[in-house]
Amino acid sequence: MGWLAHLSDAAFRGIPSEFETVAVLFDRFLHATVTPLVEGYYTFTIADVTKEVGQEPHKDDDLSVGFFFLDFCTLNVMLTVPTQERYGFAKNCIPLLAFAEALYGPEGARAIEGQVMQMRQEGNDVLYEARATDGR
């Protein structure tokens, strides 16, 4: 569901909502709350939660993992700063397919894209295991 759907649902159907989204243009992760006001109007708040969600839990130094957050509406990911640095990405908000292709090449990106599309429709998991293009 895109922003417009959330806003129109609040204004014309009286349905409040909360959602998170990756704002690629601003390199931020946002939390939005939309509430109906009167017929045809709504109120909304937007909070920048990039810092809060960008913290990785403590891990062993020899463990090579990465954390990211996927916005299913836009299919953009927000990488935590350690993940961004670990894998050499210039920005921390990028399209999922660019992220997958940089790590696993075009074939891996297509496999991940297929699983994500299936997940959006059926709600199952995305599981892709392979050696990254840099040998990890």
Q: What is the pLDDT of residues 7-43, one digit of tens each?
A: 999 999 999 998 888 777 777 888 899 999 999 999 9
In tens, the pLDDT along 47-81 reads: 988 777 666 555 554 445 566 777 777 888 888 77
Q: Is 10 exposed, middle or buried (0-12, 13-18, 19+ CB in 10 A)?
A: buried
What are the C-alpha distances in Å from 58 to residues 62, 65, 80, 84? 12, 11, 13, 16
How many CB atoms lie under 10 A from the CB of residue 49? Answer: 15
In 14-92, which residue ranges form alpha helices assigned H by DSSP?
50-53, 81-87
Q: Which amino acid is at 69?
A: F
